[in-house]
């Protein structure tokens, strides 16, 4: 069997199209334009690329984008003052502070200073608690993207065996809560898990979010499983093979695993594009909630 390719480029474009339509309606019917503020502290090259892409896509769906690029030596006090200003700005419905922050800044303190209603990353402790107790929350964008893709592919996930590799606060833990809510039997595996290969081979749904290039091989995967690869790893390549000198691979050995999986996300072009699409849909949701308007259907957990 050769697994079906789960095309995140195409699916994320459909989500952005839905968001764009809803934004147009909000502007026309309510006179409200959703706004997303993105804060970047310092010059981390990967973060600069992400922030640029977030701003561009925000504008493309008709929302207002507010970008704050702060010096790497910005003090905690200055950053907290900016967040307080954005919390009180009624034109801003979503606030995101790009991580990682420089070492002298306390990420937990900064994230928890963002109003939970504007926390479109879903990282605020209130949103973490709401999600963990099965209540309405702002949901982190990457796991939300995985969930929407799984719903599209599988539909009812009730009773499925879901195994998540990786226990991060950004992906692994929120993903577990989302899949418990879908009535899956969920196991979170990590670097200390024993017999991880055998465990993975019992998964109907396998989610890899561990940051280890091509760790998951063909013989780790059950025939027909749905495999979601969240990994984005840069590996060196000979300049004679690839003029860039590197290539991007996931946590899954795609060429091997696709022979056994029922469906599989590629890297790049799988979950990556879903993350920003979900950031836009979270901003739309935050705007609807702030204005007591009906939330869009099919874009939330
Ligand atoms: N850095 C890498 N991924 C993310 C994300 O999803 N949100 C934020 N704020 N920073 C990140």
When pLDDT is averaged across residues 280-290 and rounded to a whole number, the result is 98
Specify the domain boundaries for CATH 3.40.50.10860 within the chain. Answer: 29-124+275-289
pLDDT of residue 72: 98
Provide the annotated active-site residues.
54, 98, 121
pLDDT of residue 228: 98
DSSP letter for each residue of 141-201: HHHHHHHHHHHHHHS--TT-EEEEE---TTTHHHHHHHHHHTT-EEEEE-TT-TTHHHHHT
Band of pLDDT at residue 23, cut at 50, 70 and 90: very high
How far apart are the CA of 23 and the centre of ligand 1, in A? 24
Q: Of 80, 142, 75, which Cα lies nearest the Cα of 114?
A: 80
* Whether pLDDT at 283 is above 80: yes
* Whether pLDDT at 1 is above 80: no
Q: Is domain 29-124+275-289 given the CATH code 3.40.50.300 in the classification?
A: no
To the nearest whole number, what is the mean pLDDT of the chain? 97
pLDDT of residue 2: 87
Helical (H) or strand (E) element with 69: strand 64-70
* Whether pLDDT at 165 is above 90: yes
How far apart are the CA of 142 and the centre of ligand 1, in A? 9
List Cβ<8 Å contacts ≥24 apart for 150-158: 150/182, 150/205, 150/226, 150/228, 152/11, 153/4, 153/6, 153/226, 153/263, 154/205, 154/226, 157/182, 157/183, 157/184, 157/205, 158/182, 158/183, 158/184
Rounded to whole angstroms, the Cα distance separating 185 from 165 reads 14
Q: How far apart are the first and last CA of the chain?
A: 31
42-57 pLDDT, tens digit each:
999 999 999 999 999 9
How far apart are the CA of 67 and the centre of ligand 1, in A? 15
The mean-pLDDT minimum among 88-92, 203-207, 241-245 falls in 241-245
pLDDT of residue 216: 98
Band of pLDDT at residue 195, cut at 50, 70 and 90: very high
Band of pLDDT at residue 279, cut at 50, 70 and 90: very high
Ligand 1 binding pocket, CB closer than 6 Å: 96-99, 121, 141, 170
For residues 120 and 279, the answer to whether their CB atoms sit within 8 Å is yes
When pLDDT is averaged across residues 182-194 and rounded to a whole number, the result is 98
Which residue puts its alpha carbon closest to atom 4 of ligand 1?
Answer: 99
Q: What is 141-273's CATH superfamily?
A: NAD(P)-binding Rossmann-like Domain (3.40.50.720)
Share of the chain above pLDDT 90, in %: 99
Q: How many CB atoms lie within 10 A of CB 210?
A: 24
Specify the domain boundaries for CATH 3.40.50.720 within the chain. Answer: 141-273
Share of the chain above pLDDT 70, in %: 100
| Residues 6+ away with beta carbon under 8 Å from 281 | 15, 18, 19, 144, 296, 299, 300
* Whether pLDDT at 199 is above 80: yes
The pick from 121, 139, 140, 166 for probing ligand 1's pocket by mutation, whose C-beta has the most ligand atoms within 8 angstroms, reads 121
């Amino acid at each position: 069997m050769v697994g079906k390719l789960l095309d995140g480029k195409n699916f994320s474009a459909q989500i952005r199209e839905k968001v764009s339509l809803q934004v147009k309606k909000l502007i026309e019917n309510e006179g409200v334009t959703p706004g997303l503020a993105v804060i970047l502290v310092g010059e981390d090259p990967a973060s600069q690329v992400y922030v640029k892409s977030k701003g561009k896509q925000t504008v493309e769906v008709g929302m207002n984008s507010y970008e704050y690029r702060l010096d790497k030596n910005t003090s905690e006090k200055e950053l907290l003052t900016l967040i307080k200003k954005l919390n009180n700005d009624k034109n801003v419905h979503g606030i995101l502070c790009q991580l990682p922050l420089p070492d002298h800044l306390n990420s937990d303190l900064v994230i928890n200073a963002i109003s939970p209603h504007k926390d479109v990353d879903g990282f605020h402790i209130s949103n973490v608690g709401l999600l963990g107790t099965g209540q309405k929350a702002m949901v982190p964008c990457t796991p939300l993207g995985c969930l929407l893709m799984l719903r599209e592919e599988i539909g009812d996930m009730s009773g499925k065996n879901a195994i998540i590799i990786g226990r991060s606060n950004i992906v692994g833990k929120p993903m577990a809560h989302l899949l418990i809510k879908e009535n899956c039997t969920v196991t979170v595996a990590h670097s200390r898990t024993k017999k991880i290969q055998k465990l993975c081979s019992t998964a109907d749904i396998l989610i890899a979010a561990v940051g280890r290039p091509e760790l998951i091989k063909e013989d780790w995967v059950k025939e027909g499983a749905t495999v979601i690869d969240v990994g984005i790893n840069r590996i060196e390549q000979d300049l004679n093979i690839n003029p860039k000198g590197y290539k991007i691979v996931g946590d899954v050995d795609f060429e091997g695993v696709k022979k056994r999986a029922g469906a599989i996300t590629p890297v790049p072009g799988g979950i990556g594009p879903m993350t920003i699409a979900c950031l836009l849909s979270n901003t739309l949701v935050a705007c609807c909630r702030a204005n007591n308007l009906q939330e869009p259907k099919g874009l939330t957990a």
